[in-house]
Amino acid sequence: MADTNFLDKIIDQTLKTVGDSREQIFHIGEQSRQELAALKKELVNVRHKVASVIEKSDRTQMYAKFARGRLVEVSKSFDTFSKEEVRAAYEQANDYQIQLAVLNQEEFQLREQRDQIERRLINLKDTVVRAEQLAGQMSVVYNFLSSDLKIVTDVIEDAKEKQAFGLKIIEAQEEERRRLSREIHDGPAQMMANVMLRSELIERMYHEKGIDDALNEIRSLRQMVKSSLAEVRRIIYDLRPMALDDLGLVPTLVKYLRTFEEHNGVSIVFQHFGKDQRLPQQFEIALFRLVQEAVQNAYKHAEPKEIQVKIEIKPTKVIMIIKDDGIGFEPSTKKEGSFGLIGMKERVNMLKGELNIQSKLNRGTVVAIGIPLNSSDL
């Protein structure tokens, strides 16, 4: 018992250390993101200043050229000009030369500042990426150490297989959380921040330019809010379409594909064969996700004009075909970051089904999925 208590203390201390380290890494990542955003704004400001100085320098260069021409003219006909005119021509030419020297020095300093900011941005981006990766890895370790794997132990006898299975589940959960966090950060959260900035701009515009310009900006702001609301609804729908529980697989697919078509401007043709029957919940969820992943992959990577989705529900099997007329790819070449296809293969394997992908460059892609149904499942 003493050994067990000692082991529990070691695990608790390890969990505390891992948890604290994870929080510190997360804090570093958040600070880096904030500094990254501030540097991006500073970089835009410096670039504007560089452009402004270049414009002033070009204009001053032109004036200096005219002044030098005037000075040459005065020097050649010295007797025909008064002393005041000669002095004025010389002072003007000299003044423009001084202005040019000042502007050139200012431009040089601004370019140096810009280059420094760009180098810092590269380092900060690397820090943010590494912090995200480390935080995810630390979360995997923490969750694995703190999880109760008793149920998994009853199913999996081998210790190595049990560990790999547990880590795989936790990694998938962490990746989904990270994906959702990025979608909210890059979508609705970013839009809401823009709404705040635009609202301040509207107030200034109203005072400086009048009601008409302010109303135009309000209309633009309204469209931004509308887009943000649509993005929030899409994220909620992607988490789990509620119509799936109420209506079933086919009606939910019809609704999803129609909405996808409207929002993304790609033609989608849906065909359903066989009996429109309800399937077990785990089958309906898995089949819906497979179609969803295949359609999104086609839209993101294939640049299609039309996507065809066909589903046939037989007594012993469900067959689904997703076909696009896009740019295609070479199936034998593994594309870096192709997690969509990997996820589809894993989901089909869990259902003991078959996945076949046929594609040729500039000839489109066909994804064929077959999932067996047993009478005991229905």
One-character DSSP codes across 34-57: HHHHHHHHHHHHHHHHHHHHHHHH
User: What does pTM read for this prediction?
Assistant: 0.42
For 373, the token pair is 């149904």
Q: Are residues 11 and 119 in the same domain?
A: yes
Which residue, of 146, 175, 206, is where some domain finishes? 146
Q: Which of 337, 237, 360, 243 is closest to 292 using CA atoms?
A: 237
HSE-up of 2 (CA within 13 Å, CB side)? Answer: 0
Which residue, of 98, 121, 146, is where some domain finishes? 146
Residue 155 pLDDT: 43
What is the DSSP secondary structure assignment for residue 354, as one 8-state letter?
E
38 is a domain residue: yes
Task: In whole angstroms, give the CA distance from residue 165 to residue 153.
Answer: 10
One-character DSSP codes across 98-125: HHHHHHHHHHHHHHHHHHHHHHHHHHHH
Residue 179 pLDDT: 65
Segments forming the whole domain that contains residue 62: 2-146
List, for residues 317-345, the tens digit of each pLDDT value: 999 999 999 998 877 665 544 556 777 88
168 is a domain residue: no
Q: Are residues 10 and 142 in the same domain?
A: yes
114 is a domain residue: yes
Q: Are residues 135 and 262 in the same domain?
A: no
Which residue, of 126, 146, 166, is where some domain finishes? 146
At 302 the three-state DSSP class reads coil
Q: Read off the CATH number of the domain in which 46 is found.
A: 1.10.287.2610
33 is a domain residue: yes
Q: Are residues 258 and 132 in the same domain?
A: no
Q: How far is CA 201 from CA 152, 225, 249, in A?
A: 56, 15, 46
How many domains, in total, are found in the chain?
2
Q: Read off the CATH number of the domain in which 343 is found.
A: 3.30.565.10
Q: How far is CA 163 from CA 14, 156, 321, 342, 345, in A?
A: 18, 9, 35, 21, 21
Q: Is the dihedral of CA 273, 341, 267, 176 positive or negative?
A: positive
262 is a domain residue: yes
CB 338 within 8 A of CB 325: no
Classify burial at 309, counting beta carbons within 10 Å of its beta carbon; exposed 0-12, middle 13-18, buried 19 or more. Answer: buried
35 is a domain residue: yes
Residue 315 pLDDT: 85
pLDDT along the chain (378 residues), means of 10: 58 73 79 84 87 87 84 75 79 86 88 88 84 75 58 44 50 61 66 72 74 76 74 63 73 89 92 84 87 90 93 91 91 58 80 90 92 71
List, for residues 258-277, the tens digit of each pLDDT value: 988 988 889 999 999 987 77
Residue 267 pLDDT: 95
Task: In whole angstroms, give the CA distance from residue 144 to residue 170.
Answer: 7
What is the DSSP secondary structure assignment for residue 235, as one 8-state letter?
H
Residue 171 pLDDT: 61
Residue 5 pLDDT: 62
350 is a domain residue: yes
Residue 162 pLDDT: 45
120 is a domain residue: yes
Residue 327 pLDDT: 92
